[in-house]
Amino acid sequence: MFMPQETRRLAYRFLAVAALLIFFALALDTAGRKAVTTDEPLHLTHSIAMLQTGLMSIPEMHTPLTYQLIGRLLATEPPLPDVTALDSWPTLNPFVISRELIWRDDVATDRIVWLGRFVVAGMGVLLGALMAAWTWTLSRGHLPTVAGLLSLYALAPNLLASAALVTTDIAATLTWFLCIYTWWRYWQRPGWGRWLMAGVALGLALAAKLTGVLLLPITLILALLYQVRVGRWWHNLGIWAGMLPVAALILWALYNFDMRGVLPMPAYLEAWQLLLLEVDVSHANFFMGRVSPVGSWLYLPATLLLKNPLLQLALFLLIPLVLWWERRRWRTLIFLLLPAVFFLLVSAASRVNYGYRHALPAVPFLMVLGVLAIPRLWIRPIARVALVAGLGLTALSALAYHPDHLTYFNELVGGRGYHYLGDSNLDWGQDLNQLAAYAARYRSETGRPLHFSYTGVVDREHYGLAGLSLTEQFNRNESAFAPANPPAGRYAINTGDLQGTGLILGELRESDLFDWFRRQQPMETLGGSIFIYDVPRQADGTWMAHCAPDRLLNNEQAERLIGRGTLRHVEFDCRTNWVFPGGGPGWYVLPPEGTEWLGRRLGPDSPREVYRHRANAYGPDYVIVYWPGTPEAALGDNLQPFAGEGGGPATLRGFGAAGAEWVTFWEVIAATTEPLSVKAHLLAGDSPPQVADGLGFAANQWQPGDWFIQRHVFPAPGTTLETGLYNYVTLQAVSGPIRLVED
């Protein structure tokens, strides 16, 4: 349908203003409803210090643009405490200083946090305006394309999540896009004004985040690609090189022209040293269900796949088609493609697996490239309906997540995102206020305290959450919490602690402290990042069985794990034997591997793993397995019952065979001190018998009511097993012989 140019421009402006207002409203509403997150006290402290001292006085691997902007707004507020007068100032440690500064009674913490978030949200709005302007130009004023871009932008969960927090991520994303956009505009119609604007934008990008330095090779490559239009390549190189002093001057100005002797911007060099150290050291991260000390290059692709709306992913997949359809405009599209690809490749290669936010500067370029497929799709009725429906579903999903945009995962994983990704993809401590409110409500309704774990930097008492967390109790060795068998009660555990990384490096010292809860279904979540569990009762048992000969835990360590004392402890060789001491419930301490054979025999009635520990300073690799039932139930359909009487201190109750592997199932009738073994001679036709005698549960541990399974593995299958008990010293039979025929 034909629409006059002026009408289309008016419609474009209306759509742009509406989308920007929606984004701003959602970001500010989120900013007002979320607690202070892990990194925000650090960024606010830098902003205040720079406002008061005029310098980047505290060493940090960040650059000053965001701090300058926030500081300017904070300057309109009542004076804040002098940071240089704080007791912690001589340490020049931003974490220590922020703990003393941000949570003081004379600091309006919530107010300054909201003001800082207001600045960041404003930068998010500017980003949207730039994206809309470039899309309008590239699509030649195609309204459905611009509308699609603005809709995806206004409801983009990852942009909203970052725009609602005091971080440097939105500043980096905005200035990256601004730099490339202004550089593209210069090459479309070269002029001194546009060239100067591109130089200023490059300087702002360098001052937004250290990764802005990646724009230097990117802008150079883009300049050289225009040599056909301008002439000789060195001319383009000169234009690019002439822009560098402008960018450097802007960067230096944002450092307030700081000098150390003859060295300008010493804080910028220090920031690079700290960043390189951070990358070199590496830190624990959670990815695909595992905590790893090093990053994976697959992390970034997986993050983009799981945390982008499905319609956005579909448009990303159409980018190769867009490049083909618009191949005659490749010199324009390369301005969108190269920055995105370059940044994503560098991010993936760095293996800094901290979250989607580290890929954020690439996303606006991909979004604009993706929506350029809409003009071709819009002329097809089916594609048009699919696009409109996709936008509707995207809107419903985004609004359903509001204000929990940080925890967003698309429909590919649904509510199971915490199984795949962690850190700032999900839990940055943003729901502490909800945890405090829930704890107060639970105590008011039940009179009982809420057991909680939260390892963030935020002062919990600021939100009214008192008492030590489970993690703090464990670190102080003051906890009655049994990791493999928690006491009855209501528990709240933030995702970082549940996954094993914690919110602060080193605070969660035992990464598997909450492994028991990983196997449970939470009754509800708070903000998508804190899981609530109800433990109706603590499991009961009277014994613990340890896999021998190399025991993994001593008796005291094992009993502390399950919160029970004065238990009976037995040892058995779990590779060839399985025990059910006393016939009642109890626990096993096992190596992570080597007991798979039992599952083949017992099937669904196998003892259940309740806790798994990975080797660290608190112990080796091991698993805790619980048996709640009676040994007779283990017979099931996988073992054949045996009703005969063989005599001796143990009676055969069942057996089973699978190829060359046989098992015999015994009930202890009487205690004994004899050195016993189980005879296992396998017959097959006229061949000599195969021998696989053995007993993995020493007879001197037997008590009446014990049951055990003995495994016999032969070189080849057979049809008849001859078994019984015998004294392996005297070789005299104690029971049997019993002949068993495979059914």
pLDDT of residue 391: 94
696 and 732, same domain (yes or no): yes
Confidence of residue 281 (pLDDT cuts 50, 70, 90): low
Torsion, Cα 319 321 326 330, to 10 degrees, reads: 60
Lowest mean pLDDT segment, chosen from 297-306, 407-416, 525-534, 590-599: 590-599
pLDDT of residue 307: 94
17 and 150, same domain (yes or no): yes
Higher pLDDT, residue 358 or 452: 452
Confidence of residue 629 (pLDDT cuts 50, 70, 90): confident
Give me 566's structure tokens: 């004065």
575 and 495, same domain (yes or no): no
Give me 335's structure tokens: 């301005």
Q: Is residue 422 part of a domain?
A: no
Lowest mean pLDDT segment, chosen from 152-161, 244-253, 324-333: 324-333
551 and 516, same domain (yes or no): no
Long-range contacts of 656-661 (CB under 8 A, 24+ apart): 656/601, 657/721, 657/742, 658/600, 659/717, 660/713, 660/714, 660/715, 660/716, 660/717, 660/718, 661/597, 661/711, 661/712, 661/713, 661/714
**1: pLDDT strictly greater than 70:** no
**474: pLDDT strictly greater than 60:** yes
**7: pLDDT strictly greater than 60:** yes
User: Mean pLDDT throughout 328-354?
Assistant: 89
Q: List, for residues 223-257, the tens digit of each pLDDT value.
A: 988 765 545 778 888 999 999 999 999 999 999 99
Confidence of residue 637 (pLDDT cuts 50, 70, 90): low
602 and 651, same domain (yes or no): no
Give me 447's structure tokens: 């009179």
Q: Is residue 275 part of a domain?
A: no
pLDDT of residue 229: 52
User: Mean pLDDT throughout 461-476?
Assistant: 90
Give me 739's structure tokens: 């002949």
716 and 630, same domain (yes or no): no
pLDDT of residue 282: 60
Query: What is the full DSSP assignment across 457-486?
Result: SS-GGGGT--S--HHHHHHTT-----TTSP
456 and 605, same domain (yes or no): no
560 and 528, same domain (yes or no): no
Confidence of residue 650 (pLDDT cuts 50, 70, 90): very high
Q: Is residue 280 part of a domain?
A: no
Give me 327's structure tokens: 């191949």
Domain end among 535, 553, 572:
535
Residue 519 backbone phi and psi in degrees, to 5: -95, 0
Higher pLDDT, residue 5 or 269: 269
196 and 330, same domain (yes or no): yes
Query: To the nearest whole percent, how much of the chain has pLDDT over 90?
Result: 71
Q: How many CA atoms lie within 13 A of 422 on its CB side?
A: 22
Q: List, for residues 35-52, the tens digit of each pLDDT value.
A: 999 999 999 999 999 999
Residue 453 backbone phi and psi in degrees, to 5: -130, 130
Q: List, for residues 715-735, the tens digit of each pLDDT value.
A: 999 999 999 999 999 999 998
pLDDT of residue 68: 96
675 and 727, same domain (yes or no): yes
**190: pLDDT strictly greater than 80:** yes
Q: Is residue 184 part of a domain?
A: yes
249 and 357, same domain (yes or no): yes
Query: What is the full DSSP assignment across 331-380?
Result: HHHHHHHHHHHHHHHHHHHHT--S-GGGGGGGHHHHHHHHHTTHHHHHTS
Q: Is residue 278 part of a domain?
A: no
pLDDT of residue 250: 97
Confidence of residue 736 (pLDDT cuts 50, 70, 90): confident
Q: List, for residues 572-626, the tens digit of each pLDDT value.
A: 999 999 999 987 899 999 999 887 888 777 766 678 899 999 988 888 999 999 9
Give me 424's structure tokens: 């700032």
Q: Is residue 274 part of a domain?
A: no
Give me 125's structure tokens: 């709005």
pLDDT of residue 605: 67
Number of Cβ within a 10 Å radius of residue 86: 16
Number of Cβ within a 10 Å radius of residue 566: 7
Q: What is the CATH number of the domain that holds 722?
A: 2.60.40
What predicted TM-score, i.e. pTM, was given to this entire model?
A: 0.90
User: Mean pLDDT throughout 344-363?
Assistant: 86
In three-state secondary structure terms, 540 is coil
The residues near 646 (Cβ < 8 Å, ≥ 6 apart) are: 652, 724, 725, 735, 736, 738
CA dist list (Å): 112 to 121, 435, 653, 658: 14, 22, 73, 70
**DSSP state, residue 573:** -
pLDDT of residue 296: 82
pLDDT of residue 727: 94
Domain end among 535, 552, 576:
535
Q: Is residue 691 part of a domain?
A: yes
Q: Is residue 426 part of a domain?
A: no
Query: What is the full DSSP assignment across 620-681?
Result: -SEEEEEE-S-GGGGTTTTSEE------SSEEEEEEEEETTEEEEEEEE-S---S-EEEEEE
Confidence of residue 294 (pLDDT cuts 50, 70, 90): confident
Domain end among 384, 400, 416:
400
CA–CA dist 144, 139 (Å, integer): 10
Q: How many domains does the chain have?
A: 4
Q: List, for residues 138-153, the tens digit of each pLDDT value.
A: 999 999 999 999 999 9
Q: What is the extent of the structural domain holding 587?
A: 543-634
pLDDT of residue 383: 92
101 and 222, same domain (yes or no): yes
E strands, 265-329, in order: 285-287, 290-292
CA–CA dist 372, 536 (Å, integer): 55
Burial state string for 28-43 with b = 16 or more CB within 10 A and e = fewer than 16: bebbebbbbbbbbbbb
